[in-house]
Structure 1
Amino acid sequence: MRTDLAASYGDERLPRYTSYPTAPHFSPAIGADIYARWLSELPSGASASLYLHVPFCREMCWYCGCHTQIVRRDELVAAYQRTLLSEIAQVADGIGRRIKVEHIHFGGGTPTIVAPDAFAELMAAMRRAFFVLPSAEIAVEIDPRTLTAEMAAAMRLAGINRASLGVQSFDPVVQRAINRVQSFEQTASVVDMLRSADVAGINFDLIYGLPHQTVASCLDTVRRSLALAPSRFSVFGYAHVPGFKKHQRMIDEADLADGLARHDQACAIANALEQAGYVQIGLDHFARPDDAMAVAYEQGTLRRNFQGYTTDQGEVLLGFGASAIGRLPQGYVQNEVQIGAYQQSIADGRLATAKGYRLADDDRLRADIIERIMCEFGADLGDICARHGAEPQALLQSASRLESLISDGVVRLEGDRLAVAQDSRFLLRSVAAAFDAHLDPGRLLHSRAV
C-alpha cells in the first residue's frame, strides 16, 4: 500500500459507483408514467431482484448516511408496511405476470423494526406477486441491539438465508462518540440466534475513519469479529457529510482521522482479514473462499448494485419503499424520498417514482467499464468496446484523468487492457472516476476516496 498515493488521491470526493450514472444525476423528467411503461416492456424471460427499504430506526446513529428516521410508535411502521403491500401489488400488476425473482434484500433503516407477523405478511405478498425461486437469496439488514427471538423465528419461516449485522466498531469510546453502544456479547447472542434460525449466511459491516478510531481499535474489532466466524465482511470508510446529514454534526470533526490515518486503518483491517483466510472482493468486501461471492469473484461473474457487491446476475432490480432505487434495462428509477409523499402516491393508486435516469448508449458502455474495474481491479476495454460498438482509443482520449493515474503507477495500460496495480487497489474509485463522463469534481456530494 502506497501512502504517497493516499496523500495525493485520498481526499478526493468520489462516488462509490453502485450505479452509473450515480443518483445525483437522476432527473424528475423520469416519473411514474415512464416507470409504468418500462415495467410493461420487460422481456418475457427477464428475472428480477427485489429491494425493500424500511426507513425507520429506534434511535439515530450519528455516523448514519441512510434515508431513515426515528420512530417510537409502532402504528407508523404498521401503516408503512401496508403501503409496501400496496406498492408490491401495483408493480406486479404493471409487469402483468409473475416475473422470476432470484434475490430479495430488506434494507433500511432497521428492517426488523417491522412486527414479526407483518414481516411474514410482506414475504407472503412477494411470493404471491412474483415467482420467488426456491434457490433465491433472501437477505435482511439487522441492528443486533433490537433483534428479538420472535423476529428471528419469523425470519426462519420467511426463508431468510442471509443477514447483515451492523457492527461498525467494538471500541466503547468509538461507540459512545457515534451514539451506538453495542457490546460484543450482544452481537454474539444475535449470531447464535440467527444460526439457530437456519440463517447460514452471516455478514458483518465494519467502518473505519470513525471518531477516536485507531489502527489498534480497528484490529481489536476484527479480532473479536473473527471469533464469531461470519462468512463475509463489508468494510466501509465513514462518509462525513454533515451538510447533507445534519445529525452528523453531533460528531466533532476534530476527532476524525485524516486521509493518511484512514488509509492506515483500512490497510490494517484488510491485512488482518486476508491473514485470517478471507478473500478481498473488490474495494470493500471480504469473503471466505467457499462463499458464493468469492466464487463469483474467481469466476469473473461478480456484479455491483445499490447494495454493493453481489452475485446477482439479473438486469432488473425492483425497489420498494420511500427513497428506494430500481434498475431496469431502460434506466434507473427512484421513489419519493419523503415517507409521506411516498405513501400518498401509493394511496392515490399511482407509482411513487419521483425521478430517474434514461440510459444512453455511452452510459451503458461506461457503466460496464466502471463495473468491471470495481469488481475485477481492471477491464478489457477492447472487449467491452466491441460489445458496445465503440472504439477504445476514442474512449481513452476522453478519459483525461487516466493520464496521471498511469504516470503515478496506479494503473497499467497494456494494449486495450487496463489493470490496477496491486498496491493501488484502494484507489479503485479514483480509477473508475476516470471513465465517469458526468463527474463534477467541484461538487462535494460524495465521500472521500480513501
Structure 2
Amino acid sequence: MSTITDVPTPAATVAPTDNVQLATTELLEKYDGRVPRYTSYPTAPHFSDRVTPGVYAHWLRDLPEGAPLSLYLHVPFCDSLCWFCGCNTTVVNRPEPVARYVDLLLQEIDMVARTIGDRRAVSQIHLGGGSPTILNAEQVHRVFTRLRHNFDLRSDAEVAVEIDPRGLSEEVIAAFAEAGLSRASIGVQDINPKVQDAINRIQSHETTTRCVELLRKHGVNKLNLDLMYGLPYQGIDDLHETVRQNLELSPDRVAVFGYAHVPWMKKHQKLIPEDALPGTEERWQQYREAAGWLVGAGYWPIGLDHFAKPTDSMAQALREGWLHRNFQGYTTDQAPALLGLGASAIGKTPQGYTQNHRDVPNYAAAIKDSQLPTVKGVAIGTDDAMRSDAIEQVMCFMTVDVGEVAERHGADPSVFDNAIEQLREMEQDGLLRITGGRVTVLESGRPLLRTVSSVFDAYLESTQQRRHASAV
C-alpha cells in the first residue's frame, strides 16, 4: 500500500512513498476522543443569539470593499431520508414546499444584496443540502437569474452543486450547466446492496455512471465523488470494490468520510443497527486501505479525508499553501466572506459567523417580516482568530509554527505553551514531531488531525464532547 510523506511546510511538494509507519490500533483507541470537525472556530455549539439580524446587517455593510464574495445556498429538502445523514433536511414528496421555499430564497438574496448596498463580485457559489437537485429546471433558472441580478458573478467563478444522482433528470443537469455549473459533487457512499439497504440509500453504480456521463455531456468536467467508511455491514472487500469501480469514472476529487454515528442528535440514525457498525480497529483499517488505494491510483491526500488528482486546484492549493477549510469541508475558496443563504445556512464575514433559522417555518416568518433570517452566530475575537489560524494550518497542511501564528496575530508565543505540552505524549507515541514551535503531524497521525487541532481549542470542555463524533 502506498502512503504519503510528511508535509513540513504548506508549500511543500507531496509525493508517494512506502516507508511510513502507520499508527497502531492501540494508539488510535487511545486518542479516539469525541472532538469537533473544525469546519469553523469557534465551533457551532458556541453560536448564540447575541448575533442578531441587526448585527449581521452591520457586518454586511462593513464588508471589505473590492473583495469578492463566496455564496452558499442551502436547499433543505430530499425526496427520501438517508439514515446516515447528519445534514439539515426534510423529506418532501410534493412540489409545493420546494416552490414556496425557492420564492423565500429569492427574497433573501434580494434582502442581503440590498443590505450590502452595492453589486459585489462573487468568486464562488456552492449549493448544498439536502439535495439541491430536487429543484426543477425552471427553479434553477430563477435562482441563478436572481443571483446574477444582485451580484457580479466573475467569469472564472467556480459554481458547484451537491448531487443526488437518483432520479436526476437530464433537464435539470442542463439547467445547472446553462447557469454556469463548473463542479459537481456526487454522493455515492458504498455500492454494496446490503450496506445501501442498511442506510436507506439504494443507488446502483449504473445510476452514478449515468449521472457522470450526463454532466460531462453538458460540459461539467470537474467532478467529485463522496464515499464513506464505517457504515453498517461494510467490509474491506466492499469498500475496495466501491473505490475501484468509482475510480473508473476518473473523478478529480474523492472524499472518504467516516460515518459519524450520533443518534442522540440525529434521531433517524437509531434506524441503523449499531451491532452492524465496525469498531475502531475496523474503521481504521477501512480508512487506511481506502487511502492506500487512492494514493496508489495517483491521488494526493488532502488533510483529513480528501484526495485529489495532482492537476486539480485542491492539490495546487496544498502545494502552494492556500488551501482552506469551511463548512463545506476543504476548499480552494479564498474570498474573505462566505454568505450563507437559505434555512440553516452558515456564513462567515471577517467579524464572525452567522447562521439562519434551521427550520423552514421560522426562516419563512423572518423573510415575510422583511428581516434577515439570522438566528445566531458568534463574533470572532483576536484570540479566536489566532487559534482558528493554528487549527486551520493543522487541518489543511498537517503542520503549524505556533510562533509564527502568534506573531501574525500580535500575541506572545507562550500563549501556546500549554497546547504544545498537551502534544508531547502524541510525539512520544510517534504521531507527530515538535521542533521548537513547529508541530508536524506525521502520516501515522493523519486520522487524528482533529484530535491534534483540539489542543488549540480554548472552548472545548469534556462536558461538551458528547455533541461530537469520534475522531477516527
Query: 2:307 matched to 1:286?
Result: yes
Q: TM-score, normalization: structure 2?
A: 0.94
CA shift, 1:198, in A, is: 0.6
- CA distance in 1 between counterparts of 2:426 and 2:42 reads 22
CA shift, 1:366, in A, is: 0.2
Amino acid in the other structure paired with 1:162: R
- Partner of 1:448, secondary structure, is coil
Given that residues 52 and 106 in structure 1 are in contact (C-alpha distance below 8 angstroms), is that contact kept between their aligned partners in structure 2?
A: yes
Given that residues 107 and 140 in structure 1 are in contact (C-alpha distance below 8 angstroms), is that contact kept between their aligned partners in structure 2?
A: yes
Aligned mate of 2:236, from 210, 215, 221: 215
Counterpart of 1:445 in structure 2 is 467
CA shift, 1:287, in A, is: 0.5
- CA distance in 2 between counterparts of 1:43 and 1:314 reads 10
Aligned mate of 1:139, from 155, 160, 167: 160
CA shift, 1:214, in A, is: 1.1
Amino acid in the other structure paired with 1:7: E
CA shift, 1:398, in A, is: 4.9
Aligned mate of 1:186, from 197, 201, 207: 207
Given that residues 430 and 444 in structure 2 are in contact (C-alpha distance below 8 angstroms), is that contact kept between their aligned partners in structure 1?
A: no
- CA distance in 2 between counterparts of 1:338 and 1:118 reads 21
Amino acid in the other structure paired with 1:448: S
Counterpart of 2:345 in structure 1 is 324
Query: 2:314 matched to 1:271?
Result: no
Given that residues 336 and 353 in structure 1 are in contact (C-alpha distance below 8 angstroms), is that contact kept between their aligned partners in structure 2?
A: yes
Distance 1:107 1:161, change over 3 A: same
Following superposition of structure 1 onto structure 2, how do residues 95-106 of structure 1 map, counting pairs within 5 Å?
95-106=116-127
Following superposition of structure 1 onto structure 2, how do residues 387-426 of structure 1 map, counting pairs within 5 Å?
387-398=408-419, 401-426=422-447
The CA deviation string for residues 265-313 of structure 1, in whole angstroms up to 9 with x for no partner, is 0001000000000000111100000001011111111011110011111
- CA distance in 1 between counterparts of 2:336 and 2:64 reads 11
Counterpart of 1:130 in structure 2 is 151
The CA deviation string for residues 229-278 of structure 1, in whole angstroms up to 9 with x for no partner, is 11100111000111111111100110101111100000010000000000
Given that residues 400 and 434 in structure 1 are in contact (C-alpha distance below 8 angstroms), is that contact kept between their aligned partners in structure 2?
A: no
Given that residues 15 and 22 in structure 1 are in contact (C-alpha distance below 8 angstroms), is that contact kept between their aligned partners in structure 2?
A: yes
Amino acid in the other structure paired with 2:328: Q
Amino acid in the other structure paired with 2:124: H
Aligned mate of 1:53, from 38, 53, 74: 74
The CA deviation string for residues 108-165 of structure 1, in whole angstroms up to 9 with x for no partner, is 0000111111111101111111111000000000001021011011011101010000
Following superposition of structure 1 onto structure 2, how do residues 56-95 of structure 1 map, counting pairs within 5 Å?
56-95=77-116
Counterpart of 1:310 in structure 2 is 331
CA shift, 1:360, in A, is: 0.8
Query: 2:283 matched to 1:262?
Result: yes
CA shift, 1:384, in A, is: 1.3
Q: Report percent identity of matched pairs.
A: 49
Given that residues 26 and 355 in structure 1 are in contact (C-alpha distance below 8 angstroms), is that contact kept between their aligned partners in structure 2?
A: yes
Corresponding pairs, count: 449
- Partner of 2:411, secondary structure, is coil
Aligned mate of 2:196, from 165, 175, 181: 175
- Partner of 2:48, secondary structure, is coil
Amino acid in the other structure paired with 1:412: R
- Partner of 2:467, secondary structure, is coil
Given that residues 279 and 286 in structure 1 are in contact (C-alpha distance below 8 angstroms), is that contact kept between their aligned partners in structure 2?
A: yes
CA shift, 1:215, in A, is: 1.2
Given that residues 205 and 235 in structure 1 are in contact (C-alpha distance below 8 angstroms), is that contact kept between their aligned partners in structure 2?
A: yes
Aligned mate of 1:201, from 215, 222, 227: 222
Given that residues 23 and 431 in structure 2 are in contact (C-alpha distance below 8 angstroms), is that contact kept between their aligned partners in structure 1?
A: no
- CA distance in 2 between counterparts of 1:413 and 1:392 reads 15
Counterpart of 2:8 in structure 1 is none
Given that residues 52 and 321 in structure 1 are in contact (C-alpha distance below 8 angstroms), is that contact kept between their aligned partners in structure 2?
A: yes
- CA distance in 1 between counterparts of 2:327 and 2:344 reads 12
CA shift, 1:99, in A, is: 1.2
CA shift, 1:48, in A, is: 0.9
- CA distance in 2 between counterparts of 1:46 and 1:34 reads 21
Amino acid in the other structure paired with 1:252: P
- CA distance in 1 between counterparts of 2:416 and 2:259 reads 33
Counterpart of 1:9 in structure 2 is 31
CA shift, 1:47, in A, is: 1.5
CA shift, 1:381, in A, is: 1.4
Aligned mate of 1:433, from 454, 464, 470: 454
Amino acid in the other structure paired with 1:125: R
Counterpart of 1:166 in structure 2 is 187
Amino acid in the other structure paired with 1:367: S
Counterpart of 1:228 in structure 2 is 249
Counterpart of 2:6 in structure 1 is none
Question: RMSD value over aligned CA atoms?
Answer: 1.0
Counterpart of 1:37 in structure 2 is 58
Structure 2 residues not aligned, in runs of 5+? 1-21
CA shift, 1:399, in A, is: 5.4
- CA distance in 2 between counterparts of 1:331 and 1:378 reads 25
Given that residues 322 and 342 in structure 1 are in contact (C-alpha distance below 8 angstroms), is that contact kept between their aligned partners in structure 2?
A: yes
Following superposition of structure 1 onto structure 2, how do residues 353-372 of structure 1 map, counting pairs within 5 Å?
353-372=374-393
- Partner of 1:81, secondary structure, is helix
- Partner of 1:14, secondary structure, is coil
4+ runs of 1 displaced by more than 4 Å?
none
CA shift, 1:422, in A, is: 2.0
The CA deviation string for residues 425-448 of structure 1, in whole angstroms up to 9 with x for no partner, is 111011100101111233311111
Given that residues 253 and 306 in structure 2 are in contact (C-alpha distance below 8 angstroms), is that contact kept between their aligned partners in structure 1?
A: yes
Query: 2:317 matched to 1:296?
Result: yes
Q: TM-score, normalization: structure 1?
A: 0.98
Counterpart of 1:18 in structure 2 is 39
- CA distance in 2 between counterparts of 1:398 and 1:184 reads 46
Given that residues 155 and 197 in structure 1 are in contact (C-alpha distance below 8 angstroms), is that contact kept between their aligned partners in structure 2?
A: no
CA shift, 1:394, in A, is: 2.6
Given that residues 337 and 350 in structure 2 are in contact (C-alpha distance below 8 angstroms), is that contact kept between their aligned partners in structure 1?
A: yes
The CA deviation string for residues 168-188 of structure 1, in whole angstroms up to 9 with x for no partner, is 000111000000110011110
